[in-house]
Amino acid sequence: MMFQQLTMNPALLTDGYKFCHKDQYPEGVQWTYETWTPRKSRIDGVTHSVFFGLQGALATLYWEWQRNFFERPLKTVMEEIEESLSGTFSVTNPEMVKDYDYSHFEKLHKLGYLPLRFQALKEGSFVPIGVPMFTVENTLPEFFWLPGYVETPLSCTIWQPMTDATIADKYKRILTHYAKLTGCNQSGRVFNQGGDFSMRGMGSPEAAYRATPGHLLSFAGSATIGARNYLMAYYGAKRDVLAYAPSTEHSVMESYGRDEKKAILRLVTEVYPSGTVTIVSDTYNLWNLVDNVLTDPEVKEAIMKRNGKVNIRPDSGDPVKIICGDPIVWGREDLDERLKDFKMTISKGLVQRLYEIFGGTKNEKGYIELDSHIGAVYGDSITPERAKQMCEGMMEKGFITTSVGLGIGSYTYQYMTRDTLGFALKATAEVANGEFKEIYKDPATDSDKFKKSQKGIVAVVFENNEYKLIDGLNRKTVEGVKGNLLEDVFVDGDFVRTQTFDEIRQRVASESERVYYGKF
């Protein structure tokens, strides 16, 4: 088999039924208008969604159509479209294939740009469930079909950055709450406490570098280094927008055999004699490494002499018990044979043992902070609830909760769908034969009523410290809405308004405080 290089025509990056819709609308339709809205929260305690990712999605949409449609020969792109449609529908509906009129694609190619208008709130806004974030409409009547056509690529590129950003904010609120309770008033400590480890569990590299920026709105760290390039290209981000420290994996530790002392000494004295380094530490037996390797005078001295921090990283087991201790271990008879000699250490947990070995100091509130040369990171199966339990466990044992860094991975960021926050782009208005009309859906079988769409043209205003929806408007009445926050961002292939990632980060911080003040 000979493989061809794939050039994906963006006209094919949509749901198959979008091919059919331009023929299904009533005759005379000239204009369609759609709204993007989070319709329902399935995340405990989350009442708002962070609006984020549209600018990057529109930049991607622009370049995909520019390079792979408008700048390629008309004959080539039309052949691709015709082959795809005929190959897809020839069995189920051959008459459609025979009679299909492709001229709307030809007209679009000759036009040379996407005749669309996007209006949106500011990215970084915390939008209540049920309030639209952006709208899209066509700017030329013959392309009434286009807003619905781009729904699919828009939806699949923006729901996850928004959902990630919303969940990351929840993590940050939890970690900030407990950090303050235990005497840490340095916002930078929490900003660096949550790291994104999700890339290997995402649906694709593209999904990872698009979604990770949602995490980076609340935290500094990520292993998804491609997100940095994405943010610099589409959000004017600075070089240091993403931070990551060197870290080992199990194959590295395995390559030293069972000689973990040799491995650690080489890592902390030769490979990384200064700075932060994280060492995965449960390749064989975490508790043996803690009790018999870290306590070795040569290893301890090497760590304490460094100008930097060595993080010990467990990677299996119950995160809360590993970090905070497991007192009931004394009564367990089902322990792995390798663990039975370490019950005392297991009962204390990693943080307490690191303090006993390397020391630390008490802050003004009486909570212990580990010596700056040593730390802990846990990055397996973390959830907001487990993060809360770990913080409570550390607090109960008398430790400042920023003693442990959390690797937030695909167990968080891939355990979700578009329906986690109920995102949808739905048509709410159209013009047919010169007449404006509201259109909407309101399924009688939708008992929760979250699928009921808005009606007509919409506006969003800020009143009484909250974003509020006004719908049922038309082209004339929407102009009379004072303080409408839906502003032009992208019109006829050009950006009208852009934001930097720093601006959006600052907005997320202030908006989170506005919405969730005193809540975590």
Per-domain residue ranges for the chain?
A: 10-14+32-162+434-513, 247-399
Q: Which portions of the chain are predicted below pLDDT 50?
A: none
Residue 302 · residue 294 · CB < 8 Å:
no
Q: What is the pLDDT of residue 520?
A: 81
Q: What is the pLDDT of residue 114?
A: 98
Q: What is the pLDDT of residue 7?
A: 82
- Find the radius of gyration of the CA atoms of the chain: 27
Q: What is the pLDDT of residues 111-131, one digit of tens each?
A: 999 999 999 999 999 999 999
Phi, psi angle pair for 380, to nearest 5°: -120, 120
Q: What is the pLDDT of residue 452?
A: 83
Phi, psi angle pair for 152, to nearest 5°: -65, -55
Q: What is the pLDDT of residue 1?
A: 77
Q: What is the pLDDT of residues 179-217, one digit of tens each?
A: 999 998 777 899 999 999 999 999 999 999 999 999 999
Residue 404 · residue 378 · CB < 8 Å:
yes
What Å distances lie between residue 490 and 90, 113, 117, 261, 450, CA to CA? 37, 12, 6, 58, 28
- Within 13 Å, how many C-alpha atoms sit on residue 117's CB side? 13
Look up the pTM and report it: 0.95
Q: What is the pLDDT of residue 471?
A: 97
- For domain 247-399, the CATH class is alpha beta
